[in-house]
Structures are given as C-alpha cells and as structure tokens.
Amino acid sequence: MLKQHAGEAKVFAGGAHVTILMKQGLYQPKALVNIKRIPELKNILFDSTEGLIIGALVTHREIETSSLVNEKLPVLSEAEREIANIRVRNMGTVGGNLASGEPLTDLSQIFIALDGKLKITGPSGQRTILVEELFLDFYTTSLAEDEIITQVILPSAPARSGIEYIRFSSSSVVDKPSAGVAVRVSLDKEAVQVARIVLGCVGPTPVRAKKAEGLVIGKILNADLIREAAALASQECSPIGDLRGSEEYKRAIVMTLVRRAADAAYRKALSE
C-alpha cells in the first residue's frame, strides 16, 4: 500500500506523532496506512543469540510494565517511566518513536548505547541497520517511503557491563527532555574495553561522543578522567537555544549528565 501511494501516504501506528503534525498542518497525507492490527509487530521476546527483540508496535507503556524488559534491561523500563505522560505512553509505539526522527526523545540514546539494530521491511525485502544509522537530520531518517520498522533488536551486553540513562527536563517545559545521555561501559578486569557515550536532544540527531569514548578506552575510570570525558562530550554535540535552554546551558547539562551517567555505569559494571 505504501508503494502504491508512494509520496502520498503515511504510516499510522499509535498516532502520537503523526496526528499532532496533521493537526498543525505540517503533514497532509492523502492516505493513512494503519498497521496497528499486525500481530507480529506487537511482541517482546528474548533470544539467547540475538538478545531482546521488541516489535515496532509495542507501546511505551508495555515496555515500562514488561517483566521481561525489567529483567533483561531494567534501564529501559526505568527510562520509560519518565517519558511524556501516561496517555502518550499508552498510545505511542517504539517503531513510531524512531521512525518519526524526533530529536527530543529518549529511547534512541539507550538503543544506540546498546549497539541496537533495526529490522526494516518493504516491498523489496528486509534489511537490518544499526539504530544510529537511522537518523539523518531533524525529523529525517534513512527509511524509504515504502518501508516500515518491524523490530528493534538489543544485543545482550558482555559480562561486566553497565549502562545508565539520565534525562533532564527544564521546570518550565517538562513534556520533552532538554538533554538525555546514555553511557555504557564494558570492562576487562577494571579497565574500560568498550565505551558508548550517546547524547540526545542536543542536535538534529542522537550523537555518539566518539572522542570522549576514545579517551576512556583501555583506562580505569576515576573522577578526573570522567570529568575530562564529560567536558569533551559536551563539545561533541550541536545544541540549539530554545525554550529548554541556551546552547551554553545545554552543554553544561550534557557535561553534568555524562559525568553522572559514566560514574553510575562504571559502578554497575564493577559490581557485575
């Protein structure tokens, strides 16, 4: 159907994003393709080889309350409790959240920090990409017009790994975060073997702070090194001043969040 109505149709799942844009006159599609009743897209599964598999139609609320998610990836359940409000969480879907290319969101940072992948399906078949390869610019993704996201695949982290996600919302605008930072570290003894520092809501797309990641690889984290990495990460994003804060304010927030998240993730990894 998307191929038949190429350029004129929009996918409708939870409607949390597309409905608002239609009301604002930003989207005026000639057709809506409703995928809400495809049962294969509604599952949350765990595979010992692939990891945690989340169907594109799984809602935020279902992730928040899933015992399987809480067992395998509690950071995801905890993050969901802070997203938007209960009405949005009951309607909004994981696939819709990602496919919208929304820059002020939470899940993408966590997925990227976990080296998450997406299964994407269209008339030409199925392909798999890293979550970080989905986002191109503000509200712009690498999805073709006739493709949909079908699954999010989150590989199990190696032993002695820890992940932390921290979001910050200004007191005046609490619907979406001013900044959200996910940090994952995997250790070899006490030294960092793998580092992921992912910054969200401070640029057109989520971004990995690769210079900060490189700084901590092969080293034992301490307060000074974490502070140095946090300062470096704050310069690797592109925040825009808006109602949620100035560019300088957001960089300062990023620095603080990276410092706190890195410390928490490292402590979790040490306790594994």
Q: Are 164 and 155 in contact (CB under 8 A)?
A: no
Q: Are 48 and 144 in contact (CB under 8 A)?
A: no
Total domains in the fold of the chain? 2
Q: Are 99 and 79 in contact (CB under 8 A)?
A: no
The answer, yes or no, to whether residue 174 has pLDDT greater than 60, is no
Q: Which pLDDT does position 139 carry in this prediction?
A: 92
Name the residue with higher pLDDT: 149 or 169: 149
Query: 150 with 178, same domain?
Result: no
| Lowest mean pLDDT across 9-18, 124-133, 165-174, 236-245 | 165-174
Residue 22 included in any domain: no
Using the 3D structure, point to which of 154, 185, 214 is the last residue of a domain.
154
The answer, yes or no, to whether residue 172 has pLDDT greater than 70, is no
Query: 230 with 207, same domain?
Result: yes
Query: 67 with 88, same domain?
Result: yes
| Integer Cα distance of 127 and 150 in angstroms | 10
Query: 43 with 150, same domain?
Result: yes
Tell me the average pLDDT of the chain: 94
Query: 165 with 149, same domain?
Result: no
CATH number of the CATH domain containing 190 = 3.30.390.50
The answer, yes or no, to whether residue 34 has pLDDT greater than 80, is yes
Which residue range(s) make up the domain with 260? 161-271
Using the 3D structure, point to which of 128, 154, 180 is the last residue of a domain.
154
Tally of CB atoms within 10 A around 209: 25
Query: 176 with 84, same domain?
Result: no
Residue 8 included in any domain: no
Query: 108 with 138, same domain?
Result: yes
Name the residue with higher pLDDT: 257 or 29: 257
Residue 33 included in any domain: no
Residue 4 included in any domain: no
Residue 7 included in any domain: no
Percent of the chain with pLDDT over 70: 98
CATH number of the CATH domain containing 79 = 3.30.465.10
The answer, yes or no, to whether residue 41 has pLDDT greater than 80, is yes
What is the arithmetic mean of pLDDT over 239-267?
A: 95
> pTM for this one?
0.95
DSSP state letter for 143: -
Nearest partner of 107 among 131, 138, 141, judged by Cα: 131
| Integer Cα distance of 77 and 108 in angstroms | 14
- Length reported for the chain: 272
Residues 71-118 have pLDDT tens digits of 999 999 999 998 888 888 999 999 999 999 999 999 999 999 999 999
